Amino acid sequence: MTTGMLINNVLRFVLLLVAQVFVFNQIAWGWSGKDFLFVFVYPLFVALLPLRTPRPLVILLGFLLGLGVDFFSETLGLHAGALTFTAYCRPLILRLVRPRDGYNIKANPTTEDLGSGWMFRYLSLVLLAHLLAFFLLQTFSVLFLTDIIVKTLLSLPASLLVLGALILIFNPRA
């Protein structure tokens, strides 16, 4: 891991936290008194961590970022739990979307290294895991399965759209 990657990741941690808390947490759309559409951008941090990051570290960083979001959203534990789960699932998702000839040993999870199609599939799965975990923790009961599914189905395209735009704009290299 180079110093540049480290700085990049630290910056991403802070900026995504700030963006999520101050911009995207304000976006919520729904009907009959309930919100169904949310936009999550901070899972991008976990998704863009270098491929060779130790698993416990990924999980710990996910937990810390989630906790940071929680502190500003007054939902202590919700984002943290969901992002911990997402970080835990990251290796499984990476295995699912593995290119035919495996990952290059120097590859980073970026559009440049692995292609936009791979990025799209990868981010979709990361967001799916994160949204399902988050809404499950939010409703806190499988009795609200319909709510969980509706929220996921509405939030997934919205978040994916925002993440795609962010990646297009900043085009992270590492």
Closer CB to another protein, 49 or 167, in the complex: 49
80 near another protein, rule: CB under 8 A: yes
88 near another protein, rule: CB under 8 A: yes
Closer CB to another protein, 63 or 162, in the complex: 63
List the one residue out of 51, 54, 38 whose CA is nearest residue 159: 38
56 near another protein, rule: CB under 8 A: yes
CB 167 within 8 Å of CB 119: yes
- Least distance in Å: CB of 165 to another protein? 29
Closer CB to another protein, 53 or 110, in the complex: 53
> 89 to 118, contacts with another protein by CB under 8 A?
91
Count of residues of this chain found to bind another protein when the rule CB under 8 A is applied: 22
List the one residue out of 122, 65, 61 whose CA is nearest residue 96: 122
78 near another protein, rule: CB under 8 A: yes
60 near another protein, rule: CB under 8 A: yes
Query: Cα(123)–Cα(53) distance, rounded to whole angstroms?
Result: 18
> 3 to 42, contacts with another protein by CB under 8 A?
none
The strand pair at 34-38 and 28-31 is best described as antiparallel
- Least distance in Å: CB of 138 to another protein? 8
Angle at CA of residue 50, ends 131 and 105, nearest 5° = 125
Q: Which residues contact 1 (CB under 8 A, 6 or more apart)?
A: 50, 52, 53
Closer CB to another protein, 93 or 163, in the complex: 93
84-110 burial code (b ≥16 CB/10 A, e <16) = bbbbbbbeebbeebeeeeebeeeebbb
> Could you list the residues that contact another protein (CB under 8 A)?
55-56, 58-60, 63, 66, 70, 75-78, 80-81, 84-85, 87-88, 91, 137, 140-141
